[in-house]
Amino acid sequence: MKLGFGLYRHMLNTENFRFARQCGSTHLIAHLCDYFRDSRANASSDQPTGDLRGWGRAGDPDVLWTYDDFDRLKRAAAAEGLDLYAIENFDPAHWYDVLLGGPRRAAQLDGLKHMIRDMGRAGISVMGYNFSLAGVSARIRGPFARGQAEAVGMNGPEYTPIPRGMVWNMVYDPSAQDGTMPPCSSDELWERLSYFLEEILPVAEEHGVRLALHPDDPPLETVRGTPRLVWQPQLYQKLIELNPSPANALEYCVGTLAEMRDGDIYTATECYAGQNRIAYVHLRNVRGKVPCYSETFIDEGEVNVPRILRILYEQNFDGVIIPDHAPQMSCAAPWHAGMAFAMGYLKAELDRLDR
């Protein structure tokens, strides 16, 4: 098992690569979509939460990520001792009609295939994605973690419809007409996912890239009137059975799975690690379940993190584990301190298993 570190786009610099390495990381997961662009609600020093208008403005639909972008980042990380393992999340600008089943779907799928090819050429193994209309909505923040540390949570569902021009927490068309996102059934959304996988997975397989799906966060059956795909642990099995390609993999978020109403996080971890479907793991802790939960420090929530690590180890999981999110700690560098604490905890547990 490998310890990795996830960095948002604006954090992809030498100082943070060194910080990640100093925390014990050998691998890097990079976000290339800028969630903080023109954002009125996100502080760039923490994970994005946003408001009813989402996180920020999506990128330029005509500017795809290129081989040069991937290669430059791969080399910059390698120069500081980190292997760039995965890119996390497509930019909504590049695939809004894939999610919405809209008129630009075919052209956008071509663009995604190009990017997957270029990732493979640059030696990046995994593309993490979240096939979701509402994305990460309805987050609140407060002093939920030990010692009044600010953390993210949820306190009841959100029903406000999503405006036109917005998908997956971000505005892709600021001049969209008034109105709301057209309705979509759960079956229709699964159909869109299935079509996306049929188109993309052969290209991914050919170029040595795995596509890894993050479950729906928050994991409710609907959010803002839109259906969710993986909102109970057993629905990951439906994804696996949707397409037999070995490139059809999971971005396994322990925190999100633990927030789910049903199931058991240890059984689920054994089940999916046992099928060798996990590309990488988001490992954080949480207290409560939907619709009322909050994130906690890695050692204080309801998940027995050492037990999760032991299950992964016993199932011969050989991918990357990253801490996902952490509460903000009271000091001059709240985000970095929170992540360093989580990394130290994970590093100690991994060393113990390897001994």
Residues that bind Mn ion (CB under 5 A): 253, 282, 324
Report the C-alpha dihedral over residues 135, 32, 43, 131, rounded to 10 degrees.
0
> Which 3 state secondary structure label does DSSP give 221?
coil
Closest separation in Å from C-beta 57 to Mn ion: 23
> Which 3 state secondary structure label does DSSP give 300?
coil
Q: Which two tokens stand for residue 28?
A: 């890097």
Exposure of 218 in the CB half-sphere (CA atoms within 13 A) = 27
Q: Is the dihedral of CA 105, 110, 113, 118 positive or negative?
A: negative
Residue nearest to Mn ion (CB): 253
CB-nearer residue toward Mn ion: 203 or 253: 253
Closest separation in Å from C-beta 256 to Mn ion: 5
CB-nearer residue toward Mn ion: 162 or 253: 253
Q: Cα separation of 176 and 174, whole Å?
A: 6
CB-nearer residue toward Mn ion: 74 or 282: 282
Closest separation in Å from C-beta 325 to Mn ion: 7
CB-nearer residue toward Mn ion: 122 or 303: 303
Query: How far apart, in Å, are the Cα atoms of 274 and each of 95, 139, 152, 212, 317?
Result: 32, 32, 31, 16, 8
Length of the chain: 355
CB-nearer residue toward Mn ion: 228 or 282: 282
Pairing relationship of beta strands 210-213 and 248-253 according to DSSP bridges: parallel
CB-nearer residue toward Mn ion: 91 or 259: 259
Closest separation in Å from C-beta 215 to Mn ion: 8
Closest separation in Å from C-beta 43 to Mn ion: 19
Closest separation in Å from C-beta 253 to Mn ion: 3
Pairing relationship of beta strands 166-167 and 170-171 according to DSSP bridges: antiparallel
